[in-house]
Structure 1
Amino acid sequence: MVARSDLFSVDGLVAVITGGGTGLGRYMAHALASNGAHKVYILGRRLEPLQECAIRYPSIIVPIQCDITSKPSISSAAALISSQAGYINLLILNAGVPGPRSSVLPRNALLDEFVADQWHVEVDEYLEPFRTHGAACWFTAVGFLRLLDAGNREGKRRELSQIIVVASAGAFNRATLGNWAYAQSKSAQVHMVKQMATSFVPYRIRANAVCPGVFPSDLSEWTSKAGVLDSANFPAGRLGEEKDMAGVILFLASAAGGYVNGNVMLVDGGSISTIPGTY
């Protein structure tokens, strides 16, 4: 007989969360810290929100200022964590950027209007989500592989070390709402997780993706202006809440999800089911 207290326990877990100071990152940090994790290192460019996130669990949550688009910054954070903990069991790649947005869409604009609107976007601005969700995500994973390997060798958790990438339900939305670069980069991110899951098998390191729908966060503020919050788009009848993300992370991080590898988990209240999608 398996007790739920054992099945979903994260006792002794050492985790790292990028973008851990706000929004979904904060939800996940608090979920792990309040359910037995030994240490939760939260990384982000802005120190103040990281420190605010750590207030509730000062002996467990450790803020580290880190820019994941910089290899030296990634290496510095990994070295600090190595010196303090010596290993990690879980790396959550959550940091994200919105990228350029537009309300001029093919369904409500003439072709010339759409072309003119898109042509105003600078290439560097368009590439920003790809740098963060693609290159930065990949190099952060690579930069922490040794610590994840050390987590397996430490043997304090039965489950194999794991990378969780927080992508987006937008990765599967064919009817994008003007956040073209964001959605495209998130779709690429989902495929990256599948590559990780297969490629890291020899290292005994798992990789899974969580694809949230609309949760209250800095990245989702625009949705209220883009028509996303129409009740017809939400079979669940509400936006995502802290408990929804906490439940998913506790499942994947615990023995309950220990047999899961290469999975892409949609957490969107059914919204992708209401639109043209690819999931």
Structure 2
Amino acid sequence: MNLAPQDLEPSLQMYPETLGHAPGRGRLQGRRVLVIGAGQRPIPEVNPPVGNGRAISLLFAREGASLACVDMSAPAVEATCEQIDREGGSAFAEVADVRDASSIAPLVHRCAERLGGLDGLVLNVGISRALPLAKQSAEDWDEEYAVNVRSHMLFSQAALEVMAPGSSIVLMSSLASQRNTGRNPAYESSKAAQVSLARAIAVAGEPKGIRCNSVLPGLMDTPMGRDATRRRPGRAAAVPFGRQGTGWEVAYTCLFLISNESSYVNAHALMVDGGLGVGVARA
């Protein structure tokens, strides 16, 4: 079937995995994983899309992992754990503000002890004040870096102390790390720093066989993505396949990188953007 770009139905490029409807296949059976940013922000919609952190947590549980789910919002992370419990998975919730540097190492050690060890860490937490350069303050800049970069360094530092050999760490960066079209310099530069930090963590983890990679989502239909679209209504006009990505598509990417299926993938920055970052776009 040959279709002109304007005739392409987005559903032609969507699958059960795209929507989180595929059954688990035991790909993380027995693994013990800590997910930071496992809740999701509330948005003013009746049926909000799933966020990356919740999708990652649900998918990992379906695939057999035991999870420690962390978020700064108790209702959000508890809702994630309740859904995992309803599906027969194993997860417990912790509430933490990653801006508090002194709380991070004790949290990692506490979660690892309760899980009986630690094989995986996904750092999904991040913020964006969406401020252009002319409106940046030192305080706003420092807060974005404290959440988006410093916390990732401290979590990884603590995790490397307790992780089993052969474990895996994933940092959630963004396509914004590769291009500065959003006029959002603190977010864009902090996301670029995450890519470099992931490589540094991979170097530090190599003696124990611990891998670290970064994931770079593009324009996604998540609560954070919809907030961005409300600020910039035309931002997704040229997305590939006529649709934005889903939280589940990010989750499956993280599943691959946390699992042993990616045992020789290390220090890599993996784009999940439909090809938008290299110029694939709607006509």
TM (normalized to structure 1)?
0.80
Q: Which residue of 1 aligns with 2:63?
A: 35
Q: Work out whether residues 100 and 121 of structure 1, in 8 Å CA contact, stay in contact via their aligned partners in 2.
A: no
| 1:207 pairs with 2:212 | yes
Question: Within 5 A, what are the aligned runs for 1:121-132?
Answer: 121-132=136-147
Listed one character per residue, the Cα deviations across residues 69-96 of structure 1 (whole Å, up to 9, x for unaligned) are: 2233213322322331231100111100
Q: Work out whether residues 193 and 209 of structure 1, in 8 Å CA contact, stay in contact via their aligned partners in 2.
A: yes
190-199 or 217-226: bigger deviation: 217-226
| 1:94 pairs with 2:124 | yes
Q: Which residue of 2 aligns with 1:165?
A: 171
Q: Work out whether residues 109 and 158 of structure 2, in 8 Å CA contact, stay in contact via their aligned partners in 1.
A: no
| 1:258 pairs with 2:273 | no
| 1:74 pairs with 2:108 | no
- Match among 210, 231, 234 for residue 237 of structure 2: 231
The code of the aligned residue for 2:95 comes to Q
The code of the aligned residue for 1:166 comes to M
- The structure-2 alpha-carbon separation of the partners of 1:6 and 1:17, relative to structure 1 and needing over 3 Å to count, comes to closer
Q: Work out whether residues 164 and 209 of structure 1, in 8 Å CA contact, stay in contact via their aligned partners in 2.
A: yes
- The structure-2 alpha-carbon separation of the partners of 1:89 and 1:228, relative to structure 1 and needing over 3 Å to count, comes to farther
The code of the aligned residue for 1:47 comes to A
Aligned-residue offset at 1:119: 3.9
Q: Work out whether residues 47 and 65 of structure 1, in 8 Å CA contact, stay in contact via their aligned partners in 2.
A: yes
Q: Which residue of 2 aligns with 1:49?
A: 76
Q: Work out whether residues 54 and 62 of structure 1, in 8 Å CA contact, stay in contact via their aligned partners in 2.
A: yes
Q: Work out whether residues 26 and 62 of structure 2, in 8 Å CA contact, stay in contact via their aligned partners in 1.
A: no
Aligned-residue offset at 1:99: 2.4
What is the identity percentage for the equivalent residue pairs of Structure 1 and Structure 2? 23
- Match among 4, 14, 17 for residue 35 of structure 2: 17
- The structure-2 alpha-carbon separation of the partners of 1:266 and 1:27, relative to structure 1 and needing over 3 Å to count, comes to same
Aligned-residue offset at 1:121: 2.9
CA-based RMSD: 2.2
Count how many residue pairs are aligned between Structure 1 and Structure 2: 244
The code of the aligned residue for 1:226 comes to R
Listed one character per residue, the Cα deviations across residues 17-49 of structure 1 (whole Å, up to 9, x for unaligned) are: 111112211010001001111x11111111110
Q: Which residue of 1 aligns with 2:18?
A: none
The code of the aligned residue for 1:18 comes to I
Q: Work out whether residues 236 and 270 of structure 1, in 8 Å CA contact, stay in contact via their aligned partners in 2.
A: no
The code of the aligned residue for 1:15 comes to V
Q: Which residue of 1 aligns with 2:114?
A: 84
Aligned-residue offset at 1:228: 5.2
Aligned-residue offset at 1:180: 1.4
42-51 or 212-221: bigger deviation: 212-221
Q: Which residue of 1 aligns with 2:194?
A: 189
Q: Work out whether residues 235 and 271 of structure 1, in 8 Å CA contact, stay in contact via their aligned partners in 2.
A: yes
| C-alpha distance in structure 2 between counterparts of 1:212 and 1:235, whole Å | 13
| C-alpha distance in structure 1 between counterparts of 2:159 and 2:236, whole Å | 40
Listed one character per residue, the Cα deviations across residues 148-173 of structure 1 (whole Å, up to 9, x for unaligned) are: 1xx22xxxxxxx10110010011001
| C-alpha distance in structure 1 between counterparts of 2:60 and 2:25, whole Å | 14
Listed one character per residue, the Cα deviations across residues 114-136 of structure 1 (whole Å, up to 9, x for unaligned) are: xxxx4443211122221111111
| C-alpha distance in structure 1 between counterparts of 2:135 and 2:237, whole Å | 32
TM (normalized to structure 2)?
0.79
Q: Work out whether residues 56 and 250 of structure 2, in 8 Å CA contact, stay in contact via their aligned partners in 1.
A: yes
Listed one character per residue, the Cα deviations across residues 200-242 of structure 1 (whole Å, up to 9, x for unaligned) are: 212321100111112233432123432553432x122211113
Aligned-residue offset at 1:6: 11
Structure 1 regions of 5+ residues with no counterpart?
103-117, 153-159
| C-alpha distance in structure 1 between counterparts of 2:198 and 2:162, whole Å | 18
| C-alpha distance in structure 2 between counterparts of 1:242 and 1:182, whole Å | 20
221-230 or 69-78: bigger deviation: 221-230
Structure 2 regions of 5+ residues with no counterpart?
1-22, 41-50
| C-alpha distance in structure 1 between counterparts of 2:168 and 2:112, whole Å | 17
The code of the aligned residue for 1:62 comes to F
| C-alpha distance in structure 1 between counterparts of 2:158 and 2:189, whole Å | 24
